[in-house]
Structure 1
Amino acid sequence: MVAAPLVVALIALLMTLVPGRPASAHGALVDPASRTYACYLDGLSPSGEIDPQNPACAAAVGISGTQPLFDWYGVLRSDGAGRTRGYIPDGQLCSGGSEKYAGFDLARDDWPAQELEAGGDVEFNFAAWVPHPGSFRLYITRQGYDPTKPLSWDDLDAAPFLTADPQPPLTDGGYRLQGTLPEGRTGQHVIYTVWERSDSTETFYGCSDVFLGDDETPPPPPPEPADCSAAIELDNSWPGGFQATVTITNEGDRKMHDWAVQWTVPEGTTVSDGWNGTYMQAGQTVMVHAADWNSSLEPGESASSGFTGTSGAEPPVFTDISCS
């Protein structure tokens, strides 16, 4: 895939139009999956209930409950200010030192893991539940790392193998980071992600478990999220303004939670009001997240949300529509 230019900064979040979801940044790696996201996918049943099958995920739920899986994008410290060693205690790296996610600090060798190639080029996908300007640092464990012992800062390379400062533009609901994994690593490892906001002290932390090299018994890849489709219908337009409806449909065979739709608007277009969802805009990219009351969709079920805005284009055309 083509690398997104790392020299382009994300335009600051314009506004949150509908109350109900905190107007703060949220996100985590989904490829390779963070522990919280991997366990969220592992635990999803066709009924939409959370019932982890992976032993490590089940153990984490036994300690922390199921809410951290629904909040897989929220491993954060509001006063982090980008701090790492000396701030997040050893043994608590994967939870970011947050008691809510303490179950994901368990020292185990059976977390869901993705197979990658040491020395290979990788596109890391960090899902931005709420986008904000900032920077990324990705670290990896040293050769000889023992997953059955609590993860410490000494287990990680001192310097990140990938830095994106500023972070790349938002694409299809995520930040795509292009990097090369260090060579000379085999077996089980942890990729540790730090997302530092530049507009506040809020900082996100996360562990992604991976297998490097030619492991004889590589784990299966993480399950794919539920399939979906999305469309936007222009309901009305007038000189300088418009009203439209966005509709998302669950095309998969299991229940969806916390859906989101992203699209591109013409230059100079601003979304000014919205309902039945939480809207945000960064430049020409607009996203809507589910409201609390319509966040779950059964297979075949749809949800709609409306919005109005101003635009020099008449009628405005919405492109690059994607959902998750």
Structure 2
Amino acid sequence: MVKKLVLAVVAALALPFLVTGVAWGHGYTTTPPSRAYKCKTGAVTNCGAIQYEPQSTEGPKNFPGGGPADGKLCSAGVARFAELDDQRGGTWPTTKLTSGATYTFNWTLTAAHATTSFRYFVTKNGWNPSAPLSRAQLDTTPFLTVPFNGQRPGTTVSHSGKLPSGKSGRHMILAVWDIADTANAFYQCSDVTF
């Protein structure tokens, strides 16, 4: 009887870690609005579970050498957020940006985490907005990197930087929040028009 009680207590204490994982940092981009954020606000419908937890697109770090598999970058490889990887025939609403201009990126963090950096990637000219996002479609050198050197950001984070030059038409920006003290990063995809 005592053994069963001990097992029950251990299981009850372990359950939150099994369900939610051990990473406490979560966040999403609001400017430009990411797909996850658009689902949260209802600007886009038929999004599945991501509308309730836009901050949870967490996957392996070390992008582009590591990280989520091609075709699963927007969901961070999390199956329950697969709607984010669906290009919907190129119909996700876009945010208008000016190529080469200075722009301020904003994140909302529901829980801060020791951070290596925030990095921003953009699709190549001529990419296929109807095909699942892959490394081959991205410029794999970030156009903006904001180092954090292991510091914890606040609940809102803003950084300004120059948007890539020579871009026109529909593109996607992949924002990556690299966590310093776990093996994970957070991935956010924003549909934009230059």
Same fold (TM over 0.5): yes
Partner of 2:112: 131
Contact 2:58 2:185 in 1 (8 A): yes
Aligned position for 1:161: 143
Counterpart AA for 1:142: K
Q: How many residues align?
A: 173
Task: Give the equivalent residue in structure 2 for 1:105.
Answer: 85
Q: Hey, which of these two has a bigger chunk of helix by percent?
A: 2
- Given that 2:61 and 2:67 are in contact with CA atoms closer than 8 Å, whether structure 1 keeps it comes out as no
Matched, 1:189 2:174: no
Structure 2: stretches of 5+ with no match in the other structure: 1-15
Counting only pairs closer than 5 Å after superposition, residues 16-95 of structure 1 correspond to structure 2 as: 24-42=24-42, 54=44, 57-58=45-46, 61=47, 65=48, 67-77=49-59, 80-95=60-75
Q: 1:82–1:195: 8 Å Cα contact kept in structure 2?
A: no
Cα 1:169/1:26, change in 2 over 3 Å: closer
- Contact map agreement 1:81 1:196 (CA 8 A) in 2: yes
Using the TM superposition, give the Cα deviation of residue 158 of structure 1 relative to its aligned residue in structure 2, in angstroms.
Answer: 2.0
Specify the SS of the correspondent of 2:190: strand
Runs of at least 5 residues in structure 1 that lack an aligned partner in the other structure: 1-18, 44-53, 213-324
Partners of 1:178 and 1:133 in 2: how far apart? 21
Contact 1:82–1:194, Cα closer than 8 Å, also in 2: no
What is the CA-CA distance between 1:112 and the residue it aligns to?
2.2
Q: 1:206 to 1:199 in 2, by over 3 A?
A: same
Confirm or deny: 8 A CA contact 1:118 1:186 kept in the other structure.
yes
Counterpart for residue 182 of structure 2:
200
Asked whether the 8 Å contact 1:31–1:124 carries over to 2, the reply is yes
Identical amino acids, percent of aligned pairs: 33
Alpha-carbon distance in 2 for matches of 1:170, 1:86: 24
Asked if 2 retains the 8 angstrom alpha-carbon contact of 1:81 and 1:203, the reply is yes
Name the aligned partner's letter for residue 38 of structure 1: K
Asked which structure has the greater CA Rg, the reply is 1
CA distance in 2, matches of 1:86, 1:170: 24
Deviation at 1:87, TM superposition (A): 3.8
Deviation of 1:86 after TM superposition, in Å, equals: 4.7
| Higher RCO (Cα < 8 Å, 6 or more apart) | 2
Structure 1 vs Structure 2 CA RMSD = 2.3
What code does the residue aligned with 2:193 have? Answer: F
- Give, as a single letter, the amino acid of the residue that structure 2 aligns with 1:179: G
Q: Which amino acid aligns with 1:124?
A: F
Query: TM-score, with normalisation over the residues of structure 2?
Result: 0.81
TM-score (norm 1): 0.50
Q: Give the residue type in structure 2 aligned to 1:125.
A: N
Q: Distance in 2 between matches of 1:42 and 1:112?
A: 12
Q: For residues 106 and 200 of structure 1, do their structure 2 counterparts lie closer, same or farther at Cα, with a shift above 3 Å needed?
A: same
Q: 1 CA distance for matches of 2:126 and 2:137?
A: 9
Query: How far apart in 2 are the matches of 1:182 and 1:81?
Result: 23
